[in-house]
Amino acid sequence: MTNPTETEQKVRQFLKIPLHEEELKMLAKAYDIAVYGHEGFFRESGEPFIVHPVEVCKILAAMNVDVVTLAAALLHDVVEDSEGRVTLSHIKKALGPEVERIVDGVTKVSRINAPVGNSDTQAKVETIQKMLFAMAEDMRVIFVKLADRLHNMRTIDFVRDEAKKRYKAMETLEIYAPIAHKLGIYSIKWELEDLSFRILHRSEYNEIKRLVSEKKKEREIRTKEYMKQLQSALQESGIEAQIEGRFKHYYGIWRKLNEKGKSFGEVYDLMGIRAIVRDIASCYHTLGVVHSIWAPLPGRIKDYIAAPKSNGYRSLHTTVITGYGEPLEVQIRDTQMHEEAEYGLIAHWIYKNKISVKSMQKWINQLLEWRRELLKGSSYLEDLKKELQMDEVFVFTPKGEIKHLPLGSTPIDFAYSIHTEIGHHFSGAKVNGRMVPSSYRLKSGDVVEILVNRSSSGPSLDWLKYVKSSRTKAKIRRFFRDQLQEELVSRGKDILRKVSRQFSVSLDDMMQFDSVRKYLQSQGIGEEEFYSRVGEGTLTYGDVLKLIGEKTLEVVRRSVPKAKPRTGIEISGMKNIEMHLAKCCGPVPGDPIVGVVSRKGMTIHRINCQNVRTVDPDRIFEARWLDETMGRFQTNLRLQVLSKEELGKMIQVLEARGIAVNKLSVIYTKWNYFLVSMNLEVSSRKQLDDTKKLLENFKSVLSVERGNPN
């Protein structure tokens, strides 16, 4: 063995893990490249930038990842931040294609400003597609990205831009912490949540921290006493065990207080203990010992060894009543389970420094399925974000096969999880041998038998009210989309012909525009799918104009004179701030409004908008329309109609009065009427109210109410 170089000694010193000679040389080479690439660059803390990749590498080294991942961690920012001094080809030549692939994936994900909060645009879906695709190419991409985000959140107080700081915290809480949860990497998930919570809700964070600290010493003394009791009892039974105390993290406490409407004094599981034993048999033996010391609470024993969670988590959980009369949660697992519980998918991925492709396939397939559904428009981004954050239930088929479903799932979700065709022909379900309604919420341990009617015409749109899983919703939407494909294509062509006439070209010629061809290529779709998206409103009239391009759009603007909107809005206490109208509620002049501070500036919402209810009051400002406000504003009306025959006439009447109908969707309901969603452009609340009265005069119209323009 040769004497280590100065760089190799430095790497060995900061990683503090055993390394073979070849591994050390590889990491030393990666470190030298990182130092060269980041030379002269500094973080907002004032430290040399190289400190960051070193800390990211140390986080991953503590998780026992492979040397390729560690090398990529050292280089994860160098392509983006070295101003061309280090490229992917340099990395490939020096360290090989695997390191290059991971660095490339992390670079792509880092360039994505993930959509968070109330933002909702087509670009929002596309950014998540890119993120999922980069992760699916090599799962180690997300391992490095999670470690990168963890160190950035640990040092976020050095960031001076408050808007940037809040955006990063929200992105962490909505995207990265849930992904860590799905991967089972709880050691990272909990810290990301608490760090984000501190930035986004500082007063609540400080209050919970204060409440926890009040009796911290008392809880620590109690916990040590419980640990000593259990250790002694296990020794008497001949069971070797490592006993740990555990305390609930701040964000978890805050969520429980908010979701269950509890006071702090009612949260009893602030502390718990964990027994780590030798093998599975010892886990069950330990459970018996625990119940011999303390009485178990009925219904609070969870066996995640026999039925692991979908992210691979295994453990026994039991809640007992101690001698002090207080509940105490006890977790029991063996050494391997404990490592998997802390590091989740990373522990599965790395096994004796070999990549376990088989254990990754399920997650990769899920990522690709989400991506396909987003591309097809049958799955919505909010569904994906919710699913990432969901807790689960596990239920059984009559043959004993376990199915993991999001908490709140129904028998319809279960049917679709077995097979799409089983779901489409669902006609009922038995749970634990008894018939249940379609809206029944499944519980862990339920045995579910699905009843199938092969002669049924397919699912009902009403099922979307009951189902929980985003994949179930996507399959139901896709069914109806396929059924209506011909009608959607025809409607899409009609809309596009209107656009093409403004350019004095045929539809066929417009479809050959470079911008249109590039869009089709980027989405991986053909012309029929493009027509369908326009027909169903996934792509609006305005979206098509934007797609064609600014240069061509100027021709349209010149050929169709339009009054330029002047959004005259006065914000209490705020001057010279950029304002945007919220897409979620579509305010129009005359609506009572408020301003909400966002990273874009000030977003104007209707005062009764649901999204305003969840906003920190400190971000809300009084607002009012000024008399000078003019222009056309997007809004929406929802109609219940007995037939579709009058829809054409309705549009003609509206357009004759200067009211543009940009988007129209029609859904047939089981109550024998149609639900029509109509996106309009109006100049004021008065014009909107007049439009409602106009539509109510049609014989087939049962009701007209205002909806959301999205």
- Please list the active-site residues: 80-81
User: 563, 617 in Cβ contact below 8 A?
Assistant: no
Query: Which sign, positive or negative, has the C-alpha torsion 136, 130, 679, 553?
Result: negative
Q: State which amino acid sits at residue 122.
A: Q
Task: Return the CA Rg of the chain.
Answer: 29
User: 588, 635 in Cβ contact below 8 A?
Assistant: yes
Calpha distance 668→20 (Å, rounded): 67
Calpha distance 256→252 (Å, rounded): 6
Calpha distance 245→273 (Å, rounded): 4
User: 219, 379 in Cβ contact below 8 A?
Assistant: no
Q: State which amino acid sits at residue 547.
A: L
Calpha distance 668→602 (Å, rounded): 38
Helix (H, G, I), strand (E, B) or coil at 254: helix
Residue 594 is encoded by which pair of tokens?
Answer: 């408020």
User: 705, 683 in Cβ contact below 8 A?
Assistant: no
Q: Are strands 579-581 and 601-606 parallel, antiparallel or unpaired?
A: parallel
Calpha distance 539→554 (Å, rounded): 20
Calpha distance 85→108 (Å, rounded): 18
Reference 422, options 413, 431, 434; nearest CA is: 413
What lies within 8 Å, CB to CB, of 394 at 6+ separation is 307, 309, 402, 403, 404, 405, 444, 445
Calpha distance 78→85 (Å, rounded): 9
Q: For 29-39, b where at least 16 C-beta lie within 10 A, e where not — what string?
A: bbbbbbbebbe
Phi and psi (nearest 5°) for 275? -110, 125
Calpha distance 56→152 (Å, rounded): 9
Calpha distance 234→690 (Å, rounded): 77
Reference 581, options 451, 708, 421; nearest CA is: 708
Calpha distance 422→401 (Å, rounded): 16
* Number of Cβ within a 10 Å radius of residue 643: 11
Phi and psi (nearest 5°) for 276? -110, 115
Query: 391: exposed, middle or buried (C-beta count within 10 Å: 0-12, 13-18, 19+)?
Result: exposed
Q: At what angle do helices 97-110 and 122-137 cross, to 10 degrees?
A: 160
Phi and psi (nearest 5°) for 643? -150, 165
Reference 660, options 668, 671, 652; nearest CA is: 652
